[in-house]
Amino acid sequence: MASKSSAEYYGSLKEMSPIRAIAETLMNTHNVRKVDIREAYEMAKKQPGVTVTDLPVYPEFVKLHKLPADAKVLNDCHGNIIGRTAKARRFYHRLNPSQKNKLEGDFREAVWQMQHYPLIKAEAILGMDQDLMIKATFVTTETDVVNLYNWLLNFAPYEQLKDQYEKSPQLPIQDIILVAFNEWTCDDPFYNNVGAPQLALVDEKHNVIVNLGMRYFGERKKGTLTLAWTSGIRIGMAACHGGIKEIDFTTCQDAQYRKLGKRSIAFYGLSGTGKSSHTNSHDNAGTLPAGFDKVVLHDDAFQIDLENKLCRVWEPTLFDKTDSRPPDHPDWKFALAVMNHLTAELGGKRIPVGLDVRNSNGRALLDRSLLGKYVNRCAFPTALVWLMKDSVLPPVLKLTDKNLAIGMGAALMTQRNRAENVTEEELNKLVFEPFANPFRVYELYRDVEAFLKVAETGAAIYCFNSRGYWKESDDILEAIPLKTSLTLQSAILLDQLEWEPWALLPGAMIPTRASVEKILPGYYDKYDPAKRGNPDKYTALLTDRFQQRRDYLMGSDLSERPELQQEIVAALNLSV
């Protein structure tokens, strides 16, 4: 089997953390009833806050899991909180002994409260590739059954992959345990409180996540996935909150493209930077050659296996925002469940309406078939792309210095905007999310070391600016249309670009005039770094932003690897 039970993993059970011991005891309590996805569906239909819509569950999924033939999409509506709550997180291993002791006691008390409710549990497999599978158990109350049902939709019910799992190579990783209790009460200022206390307790070393006082499904999904990513890091892989696709050129009509073989490209970016657009685009706005074949691994989460030089996926589904999908959108064909949607009577039927009408952050679980052809493993990435909305960067950079390349990923940034009603000073401050992964619960240097190995293993690394490039000021920008970026993506995959140094940043290169003008006429003059208006102000802003990158990394836990920190930070020095 893949992951290990506690009895298999620990040489002595004394090595188990108290948090895992409490969760394990609850999981093995005799009156915690095990349910499968079919029973969970029937129970969830009766849960308060849940509406049974008239939208059918994706038929292929219904057949796979033997759900009722007429299974309908359930709309689970929450109250005040309709998204993840970062302030509720407490990282067990970062606390001092007194705080750890307090958390252990409060978790024991919460479990005692839980046991006055009817309890259920379910088992799932994380990882769709047979060589990377982890078993997970979710324990909760019957009043939370819709989240258990959605959790089984999001991952794979244990029975679905039981045979593959039992043949899977064993990993030095514990099974995952998730505990949730919505009705938790605790009057203590140590915990976040928005009308009621909330705790998202993370014990990443012992593979336990606890959600107390939190109804939102995203806490269950991302908490579980966080432990999967972290487990991959523990066995030497790179954790990726990004999308990746593989293009097979061997099927192209033109022989000059067939020699390119198969190439995969991965995208990492925060909300609104184009990660899904780049990953899911059918043909890169018509710029890929005729006859190519494309498969998608996933558009949000995967792991790079450095030893075997390939990538593996964790989930068979997508968890997407639905603010831009009207009721007649073709994606609804792939719907499995929705959260926090308006339910309206349309054509005599109860239909979930996204569009963020009821509230912001409406979400849907969708079958991965929406992506077209998909796979559970794909080739080691030919290219990684950091997507950033940084107006001082050209539309595309090739980062040939590995320390610069990883430094730019470790200092992946976003900016506040005027809609957030912040001061000019705050507008100029960058917000950093290393490798676009807000779910990292381990030290940053582990990601840096992992991605350095990705670069050393052969992946080329690029940076795309998806905001707009300085024209005259930080507000007056040269637009960078999505089609331009998609064309550049294709050019990278097709080896159509030649590169020359960007004078301002050693180790970074921009496309040569001769190569880029062949595919995007007028590009070079429009985006030539030497032709920025108000050059003194441009250089000053460029200098400030790279200084913020260096300052951020100097203040990070890279200090625990001083030589590594020095190399990475030094590579971010400009030549101005």
Predicted pLDDT of residue 428:
79
Cα separation, 492 vs 561, whole angstroms: 33
Q: What is the spatial distance between Cα 150 and Cα 74, in angstroms, rounded to a whole number?
A: 9
Phi, psi dihedrals of residue 228, rounded to the nearest 5°: -65, -50
Residue 271: its pLDDT value, please?
83
Is 253 in the same domain as 110? no
**Separation of alpha carbons 22 and 280, rounded Å:** 42
Same domain, 344 and 398: no
| Nearest residue to 57 via CA among 152, 159, 176, 173 | 152
521 and 412 co-located in one domain: yes
Per-residue pLDDT at 427: 74
CA 523 to CA 503: how far, in whole Å? 18
Q: In the prediction, which pLDDT does 419 show?
A: 53
Structure tokens belonging to residue 112: 């005692």
User: 309 lies in a domain?
Assistant: no
Structure tokens belonging to residue 54: 């008239």
Same-domain pairing of 131 and 218: yes
pTM of structure: 0.95
Question: 448 in a domain, yes or no?
Answer: yes
- Same-domain status, 354 and 225: no
Domain's final residue, options 191, 221, 237: 237
State mean pLDDT over 176-203. Answer: 95
CB 327 within 8 A of CB 333: no
Q: Which residue, 201, 218, 237, sits at the end of a domain?
A: 237
User: What is the per-residue pLDDT across 68-89, written as a single tens digit (0 to 9) for each?
Assistant: 999 999 999 999 999 999 999 9
Read off the pLDDT band of 415 (50, 70, 90): confident
Looking at residue 551, its pLDDT comes to: 98
Contact call for residues 214 and 260 (beta carbons, < 8 A): no
Is residue 365 over pLDDT 80?
Answer: yes
> Is residue 32 in some structural domain?
yes
Residue 423 pLDDT exceeds 90:
no
How many structural domains does the chain have? 3
CATH number at residue 35: 3.40.449
Q: How confident is the model at residue 418 (pLDDT cuts 50, 70, 90)?
A: low
Do residues 249 and 222 touch, judged by C-beta distance below 8 A? no
Token pair in block for residue 322: 């639905």
Mean pLDDT of 279-288: 96
Report residue 546: phi and psi, to 5°. Answer: -75, -30
Reported as a single tens digit per residue, the pLDDT across 424-442 is: 777 778 999 999 999 999 9
Give the model's pLDDT for residue 251.
97
Q: What is the mean pLDDT of residues 325-343?
A: 97
User: pLDDT category, 296, cuts 50, 70, 90?
Assistant: very high
Average pLDDT over residues 233-248: 97
Of the candidates 399, 429, 391, the residue with the CA atom closest to the CA atom of residue 532: 391
Are residues 470 and 346 part of one domain?
no
Q: Tell whether 228 and 247 lie within a shared domain.
A: no
In a domain, 315, yes or no: no
Question: With contact defined as beta carbons under 8 Å apart, do 214 and 200 qualify?
Answer: yes
Q: Are residues 184 and 328 in the same domain?
A: no
The tokens describing 518, both together, are 């062949």
Neighbours of 163 (CB within 10 A): 10
Same domain, 460 and 348: no
Q: Which residues is 125 bridged to in the sheet?
A: 135, 156
The answer to whether position 419 is within a domain reads: yes
How many CB atoms neighbour CB 34 within 10 A?
A: 12
Mean pLDDT for the chain overall = 96
- Rounded CA gap, 44 and 82, in Å? 19
Region 325-333 average pLDDT: 97
What is the pLDDT averaged over residues 343-355?
97
* Helix, strand or coil, per DSSP, at residue 350: strand
What pLDDT, on the 0 to 100 scale, is given for residue 373?
Answer: 96
What is the model's pLDDT at position 203? 98
Digit-coded pLDDT (tens) for 163-172: 999 999 999 9
Closest CA to 332 of 354, 312, 315: 354
**φ/ψ of residue 320, rounded to 5:** -110, 150
Q: Facing residues of 398 across strands? A: 462, 509
Q: Exposure pattern of 243-257 as b/e (b: 16+ CB <10 Å)?
A: bbbbbbbeebeeeeb
H-state helical runs in 120-261: 145-154, 158-167, 217-234, 255-258
Instruction: Quote the domain boundaries for residue 460.
Output: 242-299+382-570
Q: How far apart are CA 536 and CA 532, in angstroms?
A: 9
Which of 192, 207, 237 lies at the terminal end of a domain, its last residue?
237
Q: Is residue 374 assigned to a domain?
A: no
Report if residue 179 sits inside a domain: yes
* Least confident segment among 367-376, 409-418, 546-555: 409-418
Indicate if 435 and 469 belong to the same structural domain.
yes
* 420 residue type, one letter: E
Give the mean pLDDT of 60-70: 97
Same-domain check for residues 106 and 210: yes
How far apart CA 411 and CA 413 sit, in angstroms, is 6
Whole-number CA gyration radius for the chain = 24
State the CATH number of the domain containing residue 391: 3.90.228.20
* Residue bearing tokens 């985006």: 527
Residues 444 and 484 in one domain: yes
The helix-helix angle for 37-44 and 145-154 (nearest 10°) equals 140
In this prediction, residue 420 has a pLDDT band, given cuts at 50, 70 and 90, of: low
Q: How far is CA 59 from CA 39, 72, 236, 343, 367, in A?
A: 18, 10, 38, 21, 10
